[in-house]
Structure 1
Amino acid sequence: MRKHAIQCFGQATVDAAINREANNNPDGSIFAAFARAGQRPVTVSHRVHTNPEARAHIVQWVTESSRPPHLANDRGFRTLMTAGRPSLTVPSGQTVTRDIHTSFIKCKKTIDKLLQDYPGQLNYATDAWTSSNHRAFVAWSVHLHHEGSPLSFLLDIIEVPESHTGKTLANAFDQMLASHGLSNKILSWTGDNASSNDTQTTAMSAMPTNSFQQSNRVRCFAHTINLIVKSILKPFSAPEKKKKKKDGEGDGDGEGNGDGDVDNDDDSIPDLASLSDTSSMRGAFDDEDVDMDLEVEEDYSESDDEGEDVVDGRAALGDDERVDFDAETKLVKKSLEKVRAAV
């Protein structure tokens, strides 16, 4: 029984009842006294909505739940809505769309007044992307400190038919600020580390129609962390497989994939110049211990079988010189082995 009471009313309430202490609940309602922990009251209207109220609730339902407006045309939905309420008129999907637009205009005026009357400057964040159906969009959010609490919400989102160049984004940003009457209320704006945002920063600061200053651009910290993590994990990721070329594609030298792009070959030979520091890279390409003298003797024996005259310059070296020579050419020989294996 005690366990069930704790699950229903919480540990504090049960302890207070056992100790015969008064439960000083700030909410004196009957619901608060008997509700389970975390439960909230559900308000249900006992009267039929009027037609304007029904249209308002449908707009709220469609927008908050991300439902398509044409769902109001569904026969089953209309049957449920009008059951027992023959006088109720269910709006069509087209009417719901118009009501959403009207509600947006009224909400925009309320938000604009809130932001315009804000005593301080405002912070903005922006991002642009292209949808799967190749339509380009850009969105802005606004961030401020309102009545003792941080407040942030989506300010606007528009379609940008042009490419996402820095100048295009700057023009869209400037027009958005002007439409909300916020051109002179810019403390900072935050964006990712794309080069187009660098251009956007310069273009925005050069516009006389807003108060943005180039020094107030903030780079997205989350995007920076993402780039760092990707760079750290890249050496541990599996190499990408090459796409097989079709007949007639590429230039035949293995440098292209048929459309001008260079294949990303993670197994390519490393730059030997960058590996010249034998103290830090010594043994980096060693898969197993190999007797270098044996390799050389095998190469010469193969050449002798072909009847070629080969001069053994290594044999003329002293012992110390031969050791240094083997150490300096070890990376080259391992790279050549890799080329032979690939061929």
Structure 2
Amino acid sequence: MIAVDMTLPLCFVEGEGFLQFMKTVCPEYTTPSRTVILNRLNHDFVKKEIVSVLKNFPFVSITTDAWLSLSTKSYMTINVHAIDELYNLRSFTLDTIEMPESHTAINIHNRLSQSLKEWGIFDKVGVVHDNAANMVAAMRLDSSEYP
């Protein structure tokens, strides 16, 4: 469910509501922890599957945001979106990257560029972001790199 839908964090399986739901649906089942699920997911296999799907799209859009967690750790998430030939929206979360460095335009630009290159979509991306000054500046650093 988590690998296919890519819309829920792994900690979802440890939430009180989900655990109650599982007890109701299948009381004899022991719900695995997020660590067990992470170990069971073959990240490389899932990544290859997503890369294979993304190769079918001439252009994709990404949405991105950076934030501070409650424990004051800094992160940036990158999601990719594309519409297939049947007009179905396909979306995947590519990365949630810990970003201990400052959220300056150059740092955002570098992290974003690195991730997009790793996923093989660097040359076919349009970016949707909030209007924060650092995000706007990051996208303008080398406008030739972003179509």
Fold shared, TM-score > 0.5 on shorter chain = yes
1:66 is displaced (CA, Å) by 0.9
Q: Residues 1-343 of structure 1: matches in 2 within 5 Å?
A: 66-68=12-14, 80-81=28-29, 94-100=35-41, 102=42, 104-118=43-57, 120-149=58-87, 150-186=89-125, 188-205=126-143, 211-213=145-147
- Could you tell me whether the CA contact under 8 Å between 1:166 and 1:199 is conserved in 2? yes
Q: Deviations over 1:200-238 (max 9, x none)?
A: 0122426xxxx414xxxxxxxxxxxxxxxxxxxxxxxxx
Q: For the residues of structure 2 that align with 1:93 and 1:152, how far apart are their CA atoms? A: 22
Identity of aligned residues (%): 27
In the comparison of the two structures, how many residue pairs are matched?
A: 133
List alignment gaps of at least 5 residues for structure 1.
Answer: 1-56, 69-76, 83-89, 214-343
- Could you tell me whether the CA contact under 8 Å between 1:174 and 1:204 is conserved in 2? no
Higher strand share: 2
Q: Deviations over 1:150-186 (max 9, x none)?
A: 3333232111111111111000100111111112112
- Could you tell me whether the CA contact under 8 Å between 1:59 and 1:96 is conserved in 2? no
List alignment gaps of at least 5 residues for structure 2.
Answer: 15-22
Q: For the residues of structure 1 that align with 2:61 and 2:141, how far apart are their CA atoms? A: 18
Amino acid of the residue matched to residue 50 of structure 2?
A: I
User: Normalising by structure 2, what TM-score?
Assistant: 0.73
Q: For the residues of structure 2 that align with 1:152 and 1:93, how far apart are their CA atoms? A: 22
1:64 is displaced (CA, Å) by 7.4
Structure with max Cα Rg: 1
* Structure of greater relative contact order (alpha carbons < 8 Å, 6+ residues apart): 2
